[in-house]
Structure 1
Amino acid sequence: MGDLSGRTAIVVGASRGLGHGIATALAQAGAPVVAVSRTPAEFPDTGASPIRHEIADAGDPRVAADLIDRHHPEVVVLVAGAVPHMRPLQQQTWETFSANWETDVRIAFHWLREALLTPLPQGSRVVVFSSGAALNADGSPLSGGYAGAKATQRYIAAYAQGEARGAGLGITFTAVLPRFAPSTGVGRAGVEAYAARAGLEVEDFLRHHMPLLTPEIAGKAVVDLVRADAGGVVPAYVLNGNGLHALS
């Protein structure tokens, strides 16, 4: 996978934040990119492969099947998800509490299921963006079911890897767990809520999480991960401002 030219990549959740940075970086690396989002997006002229935009609801199982059938990707990156309702448990409703289960987990389930059923070509890579919140001992107490939903995405990626291995499909499934990325919608909401809970200004709170993750760093990390030899790829990585770190 070192040369990405001609290897189509679908990036789900590409209109903003980490997804936008990942779509841009893959295109700059030579991959024809299909950027999937519910809202229109603009991308820079990468000087390499064009970025084709598909406006669709990635949580609809028909969308996963249709886009995989039409574009025949060898790389699928799932970044899309709901911005959690940042309130303590007693100020949540079931609808706000379960938002990330109904969006993030649903997307991972449908797309990984379709990647196995189609299946994607031998040597394909599927990267599922979970969250570093899934590693916290106390979860993410101000974001409802967010931490649990993101942990489940990691499990789903592992389940898919087991099924692919057992069937000899040659597809690599990987979970990436990003830490705070304050320039993104989800990241900014979390930073503001937890800074207020700690009685800190946002800038003071962020000093404890340096170096900060950006869409550009995420893009480079995914390109490096997709290019890496499959035999050296581990099931899950933490992603922060210093790049990827393998999880045992």
Structure 2
Amino acid sequence: MAGVGHKRAIVTGGSSGIGLEMVRSLAAQGAEVTAIARDESRLAAARDCGARTVAGDATDADLIASAIDDIDPDILILNAGARLVAKPLDRQNWEDFSAIWNTDVRATFVGIQAALDKPLRPGSRVLVTSSGAAMVMSMPAIKPEDLRMSGGYIGAKRMVWFMAHQANAVSRERGLGIRFQVLVPAQLMAGTDLGRSVAAAYAEAEGITIDEHILARYGAHLEPRQVGRQVAEWLADPAYTPGVAYGIRAGMQPFPLD
């Protein structure tokens, strides 16, 4: 297995949640990691594990292009995202509904374009964070009503997934040799700020606890640490190079989705 040691990695949204766990796992394997996030104070945890940090907005095209120029990464992880406002459709305003599009989708768009425009070197990997919620209309195990408080989140997370396929097409047409892939956490994670807030909203609506909601729907908790560890292993293992999207669930190895 080829390792990630001595490779250069950028992780956007690297100050908390699965972003921070990916920073920790990559750094632990010897990669030179740069974490980008808006809140300088929250980046302290990334610095504690040996990562370089940049305080800034991942939707800022100039900032991302500059970071890519300066670092010339082998691995670019586009993980930055907004907090989902978990409300039924009739209680959301347009700002609530579109927040994920204006952050997650825009940051993915900016990062993908920067990777293609530089371009990154052949063999580089770009990893986009999506969500199992993006499968709701194509996976019968998830009823649309079960995600009734997700607003624009589902479409946004499907869009970033699709953008990876578009980017792969550009990479092939231009002979760049850059591989764009998609990370799909296939269940809510109460161990992240986003996952806990969403689980709390659904649990309240159902009149149960967060733990009861997670265990009833998924059977086990997916911990951010598992995601971080498995992403680092995935990036180091050539067996995961061919596919585009890989799902992660509690207690399971990453599995191909397309």
For the superposition of Structure 1 and Structure 2, which TM-score range results when normalised by the shorter chain?
over 0.9
**Residue from 187, 196, 210 that aligns with 1:188:** 196
Does residue 1:43 correspond to 2:46, yes or no? yes
Report what 1:227 is aligned to. 236
2: CA distance, partners of 1:15 / 1:233:
29
Number of residue pairs matched by the alignment: 245
2: CA distance, partners of 1:188 / 1:226:
27
2: CA distance, partners of 1:28 / 1:112:
26
Query: 2:47, 2:53 within 8 Å by CA — same for their partners in 1?
Result: no
Alignment of structure 1 residues 100-179 onto 2, 5 Å: 100-137=100-137, 138=144, 140-178=147-185, 179=187
Structure 1: any 5+ residue segments left out of the alignment?
none
Once superposed, which parts of structure 1, at least 4 consecutive aligned residues long, lie more than 4 Å away? Answer: none
Deviation at 1:243, TM superposition (A): 3.6
Q: Give the TM-score of the pair, scaled to structure 2.
A: 0.90
Structure 2: any 5+ residue segments left out of the alignment?
138-143
Query: 1:125, 1:172 within 8 Å by CA — same for their partners in 2?
Result: yes
Identity of aligned residues (%): 36
1: CA distance, partners of 2:240 / 2:48:
33
Q: Partner letter of residue 77 of structure 2?
A: V
1: CA distance, partners of 2:240 / 2:27:
24
Decide whether aligned partners of structure 1 residues 232 and 57 sit closer, same or farther in structure 2, where only a CA change above 3 A counts: closer
Specify the SS of the correspondent of 2:76. strand
2: CA distance, partners of 1:38 / 1:216:
22
Does residue 1:245 correspond to 2:255, yes or no? yes
Deviation at 1:232, TM superposition (A): 4.2
Decide whether aligned partners of structure 1 residues 201 and 227 sit closer, same or farther in structure 2, where only a CA change above 3 A counts: same
Q: Partner letter of residue 214 of structure 1?
A: E
Decide whether aligned partners of structure 1 residues 78 and 232 sit closer, same or farther in structure 2, where only a CA change above 3 A counts: closer
Deviation at 1:247, TM superposition (A): 0.5
2: CA distance, partners of 1:188 / 1:162:
36
Report what 1:68 is aligned to. 68
Report what 1:198 is aligned to. 206
Q: Partner letter of residue 190 of structure 2?
A: P
CA RMSD of superposed structures (Å): 1.7
Decide whether aligned partners of structure 1 residues 203 and 27 sit closer, same or farther in structure 2, where only a CA change above 3 A counts: same
